[in-house]
Amino acid sequence: MMLRLDKRDFKKFLEDLMEEFDLYAPASLVEGVSVFKKIDNPEEVNLTPTLTQKPAKETFFPQSEPMFNYKTEGHKSQMKSLDEIKRERILLGARPCDIEAISIIEKVFLSEPYTDVYFLEKRKKTTLIGLGCNQPLSTCFCTSAGGGPFLRMGSDIFLIDLGGAYSVELLTEKGRLFGKNRFLKEALPEDKRQIKELEKRAFEKIGVSIPVDGIEKRLDLMTESSFWDRVHEKCVGCRICTYLCPTCHCFDIVDEGDHARGQRVRNWDSCLSSLYSLETSGHNPRPTTRERVRQRLMHKFNYFPKIFNRVACVGCGRCIQYCPVHFDIRQAIIWTSSKRPSELKT
């Protein structure tokens, strides 16, 4: 079903949503830095930046999440699970790459038999409102990574910015429940044409140029390739690419507290950190950035597709934009198809 939301009604529309739901949407923290956060005031919502710094995965998989807490008194002890969320949620304004990424990490968190209750609880109680990308960035390569700037898949509702209004497509059962909202009007006959044009322009801008297809097979033969000797060199081993990646999903579980009270917490972890693979003996099987960068790329483009039939990269380009030493994952992908990897200039 295709509807239309006048931008003048947008804030009131959000207010309506917030009466029933916890709203998660992009908001600026300071100029130029935005994240998905729980919205307290509709004024906070800022859909202008093409990409937030931190991806939408945080709505389901927070960077730091208490799993349960406990306290003891004498011989009595009490434990309280913290998996339940009280209100239904809406994730609004996630770009198709971020939505696609959620369906990718779902494969990890929601596959039988090990379903993650923390992820599941949030996921099943959330309606996804995607937002088309009218202005993809030069670092976007979603079209090469199985997605697209207007990919509806995964969204319950899909918004497209038409200038003075949003086109609102209700795509799923969950999405159609919103059809009765007082601010949603019938679409105009010309909306379809305008959307087509926007889609065409965005697609043309991105193009399909990065050889992601077939990368799994190429990497099969490359575990000990000299490729890795060069590709990692500039990596300084920070965690930006993994933390800002919408599909990276590694975590660490730690207990905080003492015998009397405390909590178990799940924190994001990163294969680029040395502690990640450090063993109790003191041995580290991934001693340098060479092995760590290889792990990151192999996981995304070889191990993950072997299990789940899809590369764990959606081409959002955050890792390219924010890497402090300007590592470009697109280039690494291109190099995997180059014939003489040892002559690479990193």
Partner 1 sequence: MDERLKKIQEKIREKSKELLSKKRVDLIIGFSNWTLPLRTTPVFIRTPEGTESLIWNSFCENNLATYIHKFNRFRVGIVVKGCDARSLTALSLEKRFNPDGIFLIGVPCQRMVDRRKVARAVKGEIIRVEERGEELLVEGEEFKTVLEKRDFLYPSCQVCIHRTPSQAHFLADDPVEEFPLVETHPEVDVFEKKPPEERWRYFESETSRCIRCYACRQVCPMCYCTECFVECLRPKWIEGGLNPQDLQFYHIVRAYHQTGRCSGCGACERACPMDIPLTYLTQKLNQDVKELFGFEVGLDSKTPPPLSTYEVEDKGDFIK
User: Using CB under 8 A as the criterion, which residues of the chain lie in contact with partner 1 when the complex forms?
Assistant: 29-33, 53-54, 63-64, 135, 137-139, 230, 233-234, 236-240, 243-244, 252, 254, 256, 265, 267, 270, 273-275, 288-289, 320-322, 324-328, 330-331, 345-346
Q: Provide CB contacts within 8 A for 104, sequence distance 6+.
A: 247, 308, 310, 312, 314
User: Which CB sits closer to partner 1, 111 or 274?
Assistant: 274
- Exposure string over 284-319, b if 16+ CB within 10 A, otherwise e: eebeebbbbbbbbbbbbbbebbeeeebbbbbbbbbb
User: Nearest approach, Cβ of 214 to partner 1 (angstroms)?
Assistant: 22
Question: Cβ closer to partner 1: 42 or 66?
Answer: 66
Considering the complex, what minimum distance in angstroms separates the CB of residue 169 from partner 1? 27
The helix (run of H) or strand (run of E) holding residue 166 is: strand 165-170
Nearer to partner 1, 155 or 242 (CB): 242
* Of 157 and 272, CB closest to partner 1: 272
User: Minimum distance between the CB of residue 260 and partner 1, rounded to whole angstroms?
Assistant: 17
Looking at the Cβ atoms of 110 and 238, the one nearer to partner 1 is 238
Q: CA–CA distance from 100 to each of 23, 34, 152, 182 (Å)? A: 20, 20, 9, 29
- The least distance separating partner 1 from the CB of residue 232, rounded to whole angstroms, comes to 10
Q: How far is the CB of 43 from partner 1 (least distance, A)?
A: 19
Tokens representing residue 152 in the block: 């509806």
| Residues 139, 321 contacting (CB under 8 angstroms) | yes
